[in-house]
Structure 1
């Protein structure tokens, strides 16, 4: 019987197996997605690669968004369930999906994300001034080009004319990544590295770094890593993956909604950089950190009281 058959394997072996599952699932889903794209959109990426070129004149955003769903499903959503099947007898338990958290824990998660925004902007400001040594100038140029390319894609994805466009982007940018990335990183990888290092804190930090690095936006590494650490502790302290999933969804969803209302002229353009201007970034960042610390200690304290 294959279910739970790899539970006795070492964390390193489970990590290698997880990587194989992720790569295999990704390739199969992308192949199936290419077939579906041909049937639905009449687009054959094997003969017309320019159809996915974000800078091209003939780019089809609907096709790009379709492939984004396929990519996220194949890399993040399907693999954790396959991995859990092989290494544990209870899939939902392994992925921390079987426990319902209290309403107060969900409220804490929402407040933590909202309060953390200026602190995250402070880290983003610090990260944006990163300069590598002269002998790594080529690497720095590649990193900046990668960042610029990601920004172009994001801006084109976030053009929303109608409420339906907003709904599509909320599903694409908020719901699917929140579910998929938390399943893979916090549900699987964090557990493996915590077992490998025999230290839950190192497991959270290593996983947060990998989570940030995967986005391939190196001048946003620090804020994404900080968010990953927050999500990691939310899981450890609540024992439920639904809490970091909600926090992740709120974080991404706020960005999508702000972009929509800015585009519609309902919000000022500088609201996205709340606490991020040169005059207030440090003050608002430190205030945010103080309030965030209070919320985190309160959440930790509630966990301790529940354990007692």
Structure 2
């Protein structure tokens, strides 16, 4: 394929958002028509009625909705675009090369070491002035998330790792980093700026204003990991660890194994946030140096007519795995 390679980055961006809008529309139409069938007869309007949340049929429907949202809204449009944009979509998105173990460890450490700063930003973000209606909507979304995180046994925990950690990590990284950030980079002619813009869009699309800043930081860190290595698997791993850690901690708390409740915000001193930023920055630099030593860098897709040169570069990339 690769039909979209003949168009400018701006037109590619418009095409990508057009695909996203089209699949969002399909998802919305499906939800409106079939939600009663998958939730035991409840309607979309009843999703905000906490009285029906105790019904297992409703919770099952809510989980199906979450699954479809992840796949149809993010993964499918990104994969379709990559297929139309490049003869080898996996190469285009940075999924063709297996990450080295040290790089994988560094990428995970970047996310883990940044969590104190994430908490500091979250605490500050929660003080932003917003309307009562918006705050009520965000509280409702938080309650729905806690409903999904109700895990009475290890089987439900493993299922939530798939539903709330692994699938979102793959789908959202393919969408926001593998395609959006890659399309933005030649437009703004700066990979760091592209990572910031993609992170802003990543946070905004989640429609949770009181969590905007911590999600923006996490989006930027995953964009930075992708930019300095050119390997999307590393960003996916960091994303999965961040989401999966929350799922596991909530399960352990519900099972009374630990006393720490990951769903409750705790105060983190600003100095810890500053130290967290410093350590995360050093780790990103080390990740960049290791990627350079391995000959792995973020490369823009070859232009039409550059197929031979691109083939040689891909052979070199695979020789460094």
- Asked if TM exceeds 0.5, the reply is yes
> Which residue in 2 is equivalent to 1:57?
52
Q: Following the alignment from structure 1 to structure 2, what is the Cα–Cα distance between the partners of residues 102 and 273?
A: 35
Tell me, which stretches of 5 or more residues in structure 2 are unaligned? Answer: 297-321
CA 1:129–1:40 in structure 2 vs 1: closer, same or farther (change >3 Å)? closer
Q: Following the alignment from structure 2 to structure 1, what is the Cα–Cα distance between the partners of residues 49 and 204?
A: 22
Q: Following the alignment from structure 1 to structure 2, what is the Cα–Cα distance between the partners of residues 105 and 54?
A: 46
TM-score, normalised by the number of residues in structure 1? 0.87
TM-score, normalised by the number of residues in structure 2? 0.84
1:173 aligns with 2:161: no
> Which residue in 2 is equivalent to 1:283?
271
> Which residue in 2 is equivalent to 1:234?
225
1:80 aligns with 2:83: no
Does structure 1 retain, via aligned residues, the 8 Å contact 2:70–2:171? yes
Tell me, which stretches of 5 or more residues in structure 1 are unaligned? Answer: 132-138
Deviations 1:231-256 (A, max 9, x none): 00111111111000010000000001
State the Cα distance separating 1:66 from its structure 2 match: 0.5
Q: Following the alignment from structure 1 to structure 2, what is the Cα–Cα distance between the partners of residues 83 and 199?
A: 22
Which of 134, 146, 149 is 2:140 aligned to? 149
Deviations 1:121-140 (A, max 9, x none): 11111211223xxxxxxx53
Which of 192, 198, 204 is 2:189 aligned to? 198
Q: Following the alignment from structure 2 to structure 1, what is the Cα–Cα distance between the partners of residues 44 and 236?
A: 34
Once the two structures are superposed, the pairs formed by residues 99-118 of structure 1 within 5 Å of their partners are: 99-118=97-116
State the Cα distance separating 1:40 from its structure 2 match: 5.8
> Which residue in 1 is equivalent to 2:308?
none
Moved more, 218-227 or 24-33: 24-33
> Which residue in 2 is equivalent to 1:136?
none
State the Cα distance separating 1:29 from its structure 2 match: 4.6
Deviations 1:204-259 (A, max 9, x none): 01100010111111111111111011000111111111000010000000001111
Which of 10, 13, 16 is 1:12 aligned to? 10
SS, match of residue 129 in structure 1 = coil
Q: Following the alignment from structure 2 to structure 1, what is the Cα–Cα distance between the partners of residues 25 and 186?
A: 28
1:243 aligns with 2:220: no
SS, match of residue 269 in structure 1 = coil
Q: How many residues align?
A: 293
1:217 aligns with 2:208: yes
> Which residue in 2 is equivalent to 1:306?
294
RMSD of aligned Cα (Å): 2.3
Which of 90, 95, 98 is 1:97 aligned to? 95
Does structure 2 retain, via aligned residues, the 8 Å contact 1:96–1:239? yes
SS, match of residue 159 in structure 1 = coil
